[in-house]
Amino acid sequence: MNILNFDGFVLALTRSDLRAIDNFSPTLKFFYQLTDSAQTSNWLLWLTITGLAILVYKLGFAKKLPLLKSAIIYLFLIVGCLFLTFLAIFLPIAEGLMVAALILIIYKIRLNRERKSGALERN
């Protein structure tokens, strides 16, 4: 039996608890090892997912909208990331968002290069 200290609470972890930690997603496991605090690692996971979701939205889907409409969209995006964070405890949600962001960044770079070379007309 292992004993861990989480923000002033002493918890005795059984073997099944340790197996659960082994089943965490790679990002959460990294944050957990970095901070040694369950609460802090969950907040870091939420911030990561929210930042990546906003980046993917801006790179792939965002259009020019009035300020209030943009604020409403980002508010719902932030609230939706709370649900994604619960899923991301055991599923690779953050990793999938990283791959999506990387693909969209590569696409935007290639699109800008083609526009600069004149091979592609601007819409």
Distance CA 49, CA 100 (A): 12
State the pTM of this model: 0.76
pLDDT tens sequence across 44-65:
999 999 999 999 999 988 888 8
Q: Which residue has the higher pLDDT, 1 or 80?
A: 80
DSSP string, 11-75: EEE-HHHHHHHHTS-HHHHHHHHHH--HHHHHHHHHHHHHHHHHHHHHHHT-----HHHHHHHHH
What was the pLDDT predicted at 16? Answer: 52
pLDDT level of residue 22 (50, 70, 90 thresholds): confident
What was the pLDDT predicted at 8? Answer: 45
Q: Which residue has the higher pLDDT, 31 or 48?
A: 48
pLDDT tens sequence across 74-123:
999 999 999 999 888 888 999 999 999 999 999 999 988 888 888 666 55
What was the pLDDT predicted at 13? Answer: 47
Distance CA 37, CA 31 (A): 9
